[in-house]
């Protein structure tokens, strides 16, 4: 049994790298349903339950320190590739579809919670709020909201499974409905966006190890400064020092994205490594106790996607949105930056930059969206 920090950290890093390496080399179909980040969480949780390490004071202190510092560092790095000027340049029609999708998701989360709250366990709004952060942005936003609202680590497994399985189902649907675009566009009286011209984003060169070290040092420094400021700002029942820390680090990343720092390669590579490492550390503190609630949360996830799809279709009819933009905006929320360009390329190659930029906009707004959902659901829970 591991009882000291360094062997524990070694296991966390090995676990974090295992499934991404297997995915890259094998191409197994299982990764289309359960991505490496979910498999990493489940594997580390199983190792924790098996007693590979003990909950010693030394390991517990290391876990708390790693999560509190790596989450804001991660959010800072994720924002580096978010160019607000390019997103604004997409124009009002594309942004209108995006924010209509956000509104539909917000309404779907609230409606689903009102329907299922009597069947959900106590503090059920926290996993749904955390899921909303992911379905606006990505897993990093999910973890940020989890930390901000004080959700237990045992609930994270259920949230990740709901996210992965419902997202996989929705991806299949969005790929399948492409052939219905002409009929949908006639119903909404919309013009297809297939020929939309958008400037390609600049591809940076490969990262050198010195770039990785620079970004790691800078991100940890931003995380420390954000925590220092967060401890000195006013608090409330919904805004803790952790919330301030997360928001400050996000804003710092957005500011840095519009400086020459953004041209330095390596931020994306490092953020991917930090994300799955944080998930491994969180999993090492949890167990399978929360899995019993998985079926009802999966039902909630399906209901949220269905309600959001119906509402978005009605808004498409009202404002003449076409199917391609609706599908890309929906997956930019629920799927994130990895899947959206693939769907956009299936619809029309000219829409790939649109998918990338909308997914990045979701990353920017994901944590704030999740905190807004948390605020509303926490009030409806009583």
Domain ranges of the chain: 5-380
Length of the chain: 382
Compute the distance between CA of residue 365 and CA of residue 60 in angstroms, rounded to an integer: 31
How confident is residue 8, by pLDDT bands cut at 50, 70 and 90? very high
Tokens representing 361?
């906009």
Instruction: Give the Å distances, CA to CA, from 233 to 72, 224, 229, 317.
Output: 16, 15, 7, 45
DSSP lists the bridge partners of residue 53 as: 2
Contacts 24+ apart (CB under 8 A), 28-33: 32/168, 33/164, 33/165, 33/168
* Torsion angle (degrees, nearest 10) of CA 66, 68, 71, 76: -110
Work out the percent of the chain whose per-residue pLDDT is above 70: 92
- Cα pseudo-dihedral 59, 63, 64, 65, rounded to 10: 100
Distance CA 300, CA 320 (A): 29
Confidence of residue 201 (pLDDT cuts 50, 70, 90): very low
* Alpha-carbon span 364 to 236, nearest angstrom: 23
Cα(356)–Cα(82) distance, integer angstroms: 10
Query: Residue 252: how many CA atoms within 13 Å on its side-chain side?
Result: 23
Q: Is residue 134 scored above 80 in pLDDT?
A: yes
| pLDDT, tens digit (0-9, with 9 covering 90-100), for 317-342 | 999 999 999 999 999 999 876 678 76
pLDDT score for 3: 87
Provide the pLDDT for residue 315.
96
3-state SS, residue 102:
helix
More reliable by pLDDT, 352 or 214: 214
Q: Is the four-CA dihedral 164, 169, 128, 323 of positive or negative sign?
A: positive
CA distances from 349 to 5, 353, 354 (A): 48, 9, 10
208 pLDDT higher than 60: yes
Q: Quickly state the pLDDT bin for 237 (edges 50, 70, 90).
A: low
Alpha helices by DSSP H, 80-153:
84-88, 92-116, 125-136, 139-149
Q: Do 245 and 76 form a contact (C-beta atoms < 8 A)?
A: no
Structure tokens belonging to residue 293: 């609630």
Which stretch of DSSP H or E encloses residue 332? helix 323-334
For the chain, counts of helices (H) and of strands (E): 17, 0
């Amino acid at each position: 049994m591991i009882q000291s920090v360094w062997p524990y950290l070694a296991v966390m890093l090995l676990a974090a790298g295992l499934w991404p390496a297997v995915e890259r080399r094998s191409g197994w179909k299982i990764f289309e349903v359960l991505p490496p980040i979910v498999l990493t969480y489940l594997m580390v949780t199983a190792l924790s339950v098996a007693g590979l390490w003990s909950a010693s004071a030394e390991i517990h202190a290391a876990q708390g320190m790693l999560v509190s510092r790596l989450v804001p560092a991660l959010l800072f790095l994720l924002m580096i590739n978010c160019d607000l000027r390019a997103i604004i340049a997409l124009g009002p029609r594309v942004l209108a579809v995006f924010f209509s999708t956000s509104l539909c998701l917000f309404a779907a989360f609230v409606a689903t919670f009102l329907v299922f709250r009597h069947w959900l366990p106590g503090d059920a709004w926290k996993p749904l709020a955390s899921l909303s952060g992911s379905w606006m942005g990505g897993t990093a936003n999910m973890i940020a909201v989890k930390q901000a609202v004080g959700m237990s680590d045992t609930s994270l497994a259920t949230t990740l499974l709901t996210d992965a399985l419902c997202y996989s189902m929705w991806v299949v649907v969005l790929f399948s409905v492409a052939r219905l675009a002409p009929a949908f566009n006639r119903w909404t009286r919309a013009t297809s966006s297939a020929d939309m011209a958008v400037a390609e984003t600049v591809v940076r060169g490969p990262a050198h190890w010195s770039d990785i070290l620079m970004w790691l040092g800078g991100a940890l420094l931003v995380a420390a400064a954000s925590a220092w400021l967060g401890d000195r700002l006013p608090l409330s029942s919904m805004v803790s020092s952790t919330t301030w820390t997360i928001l400050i680090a996000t804003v710092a990343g957005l500011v840095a994205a519009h400086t020459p720092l953004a041209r330095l390669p390596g931020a994306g590579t490092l953020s991917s490594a930090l994300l799955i490492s944080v998930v491994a550390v969180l999993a090492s503190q949890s167990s399978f106790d929360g899995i019993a609630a998985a079926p009802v949360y999966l039902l909630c996830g399906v209901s949220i996607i269905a309600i959001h799809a119906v509402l978005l279709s009605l808004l498409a009819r009202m404002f003449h949105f076409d199917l391609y933009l609706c599908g890309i905006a929906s997956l930019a929320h629920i799927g994130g930056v990895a899947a959206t360009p693939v769907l956009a390329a299936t619809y029309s190659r000219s829409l790939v930059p649109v998918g990338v930029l909308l997914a990045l906009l979701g990353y920017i707004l994901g944590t704030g969206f999740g905190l807004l959902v948390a605020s509303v659901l926490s009030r409806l829970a009583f």
